[in-house]
Amino acid sequence: MTLTRRQFGALATGAALMAGSRSSFAQGAPIKIGAVNPYSGAMAQYGDEVTRCYELAAEWANAQGGLLGRQVQIVRGNATSAQEGIGAVEQLVGRDKVDILAGTYVTAISNAASESALNYGKLYWETNALARDLTDRGLPNFVRTGPSSNEFASRAVEGAIKVVGAKLNKQPKDLKVWIEHEDSAYGTSIALEQQRLFKAAGVTVGIGSHSAKAIDVTDSILRAKNFAPDVWISTAYVVDTNLLLRAARDQGFKPAAMMSCGVGDTKETLEAIGKDYLDGILLVSYPRPDVSEKYGPGAGVFLRLYRDKLGRDPVAPQGMNAFVGMKILFEAIKAAGSVEFEKVIKAAAAMDKPLGAYETGYGVKFDDKMQNTRALPVVAQWQGGAVKAVYPTEAASEGVSVINVPRA
């Protein structure tokens, strides 16, 4: 078969058009962010919540025209353990061709997944995992936008000294604090940092540990009771936190203030303990959507976006922290003009936003290990069956103040 000049011209034009359309399609391909989180198993509830809020942030960005002229797409990678974290990264990079990885609800998963991401030359944008070690590794592809375990520890100490101390009219040297913690690395690392900070402030400190799998923790409560503290602070998981609070109630242990660090702020604890006993219990928690607009501008908008999409209130405060982490990533990508990890990290390192720039009240200023130094948890409190931010004072909504300290 021979082609006439006209047929050849038509074919050449068609081919050129097709090539052009392919090129413009590539230009418009979405920026894919792989969300490494547990979506099954015991941690699924929170893993899901974190990723739902990544998706919410992506929809918010897309509604504003996307990033670098491209839409943002969140691709889920299920990881319930460190080993699965590595597998999830391999799948997200190899099969789904993601540009960036983000996560997680769990330190161990973040640890393994971020190293795996480095092997593929991908950025690992951490929003929620807590352990300080994650940034202390100095991994070149790793950034954390949310607070680390150290910030949770320091906020608990601040809450005990400034909130409870003020209510009891006691100086730090007159305060007695009992630190209770579950005995894995999570609880121990936060408790030891709290102990260090309290001692530096001149507070008298007692410390005790228990297994998160213990059938009974009454012995731990009685040891704390014998110490007669003004403040009892616990760092544990949900199930043992509930067990500790039950044992405290049963044994009539009533320090002036009780504080739970990291957990104890969800419906699970409310249903287990009941609102009457919880009233006045302090919580060191991620900033929640109830923070004042002055402290966290846009927190109300976040809550509306969440409710519009999901038809209910957020399951846990981890969500808004994840949402803000994703927004900071989008800003870094915009500033970098690229998704390459060296460029995004360089752009992130140059960011300088004051506290109160985001819904959570965070600012942005990364230290040399790429830990955001302007991401701080708040002290909240159970009040009438709801959790309300009470410290810093400017985080508290209008009309909200500390109640039931000392405990009735």
Partner 1 sequence: MAEFLNIVAIGLLLGGIYSLVSVGLNLIFGVIRIVNFAQGEFVMLGMYGAFAAQVAMGMDPYIAPVVVAPALFALGCVVYWILLRPLQGEPMMQVFATFGLLMVLENVVLALTRGVSLSVNSAAAQISMSLGPVQMPLARILVLVAATVVAGALGWWLRVTLPGKAIRAVAQDRKAARLMGINVERMYMVSFGVGAALAGLAGCLLAPLYSMSPQIGMNFIMPAFAVVVLGGLGSVAGAYVGGFIVGLTEALAGFYLDPALKHAVLFLVFIAVLIIRPAGLFGVAGAEEVGLREQS
Residues at the site binding partner 1, with contacts judged by CB under 8 A:
40-45, 48, 183, 208-211, 213-220, 222-223, 226, 238-239, 242-243, 246, 249-252, 268, 271-272, 274
Q: Are 351 and 335 in contact (CB under 8 A)?
A: yes
Cβ-based nearer residue to partner 1, 43 or 101 = 43
Question: Measured from the CB of residue 94, what is the shortest distance to partner 1 in angstroms?
Answer: 27
Tokens of 1: 């078969």
Residue nearer to partner 1 on the CB measure, 209 or 397: 209
Q: Which is nearer to partner 1, 44 or 347 (CB)?
A: 44
Task: Write down the residue that tokens 């630190």 correspond to.
Answer: 179
Distance CA 226, CA 347 (A): 53
Nearer Cβ to partner 1, position 242 or 321? Answer: 242
Query: How many other β-carbons are positioned within 10 Å of the β-carbon of residue 302?
Result: 24
What burial letters (b/e) apply to 336-351, b meaning 16+ CB within 10 Å? Answer: beebbbebbbebbeeb
Q: What is the dihedral of CA 389, 402, 228, 198, to 10 degrees?
A: 50
Residues 6+ apart with CB under 8 A from 391: 158, 159, 162, 163, 378, 379, 402
CB atoms within 10 A of CB 67: 20
Smallest gap from residue 35 Cβ to partner 1 (A): 17
Select 11 or 228, whichever has its Cβ closest to partner 1. Answer: 228
Q: Which is nearer to partner 1, 246 or 369 (CB)?
A: 246
Q: Name residues whose C-beta falls within 8 Å of residue 272's C-beta, 6 or more positions apart in sequence.
A: 242, 245, 246
Minimum distance from residue 286 beta carbon to partner 1 (Å): 19
Q: Which is nearer to partner 1, 109 or 243 (CB)?
A: 243
For residues 118 and 116, give the distance between their C-alpha atoms in angstroms, rounded to a whole number.
5
* Least distance CB 258 / partner 1 (angstroms): 17
Look-up: residue for tokens 């009539």? 252
- Minimum CB separation of residue 271 from partner 1 in Å reads 5
Sheet holding 31-37, edge to edge: 72-78, 31-37, 100-103, 123-126, 142-144
Minimum distance from CB of 219 to partner 1 (Å)?
3
DSSP SS3 for 32: strand
Smallest CA-to-CA distance from 393 within 166, 128, 98 is with 166
Interatomic CA distance for residues 145 and 329, integer angstroms: 9
Least Å distance between CB 251 and partner 1? 5
Nearer to partner 1, 7 or 40 (CB): 40
To partner 1, the closest distance from the beta carbon of 185 in angstroms equals 14
Which candidate, 360, 347, 363, places its Cα nearest to that of 125?
347
Residue of 274, 308, 289, 302 whose CA lies nearest to 385: 274
State in angstroms the smallest separation of the CB of 103 from partner 1.
17
Q: Which is nearer to partner 1, 94 or 385 (CB)?
A: 385
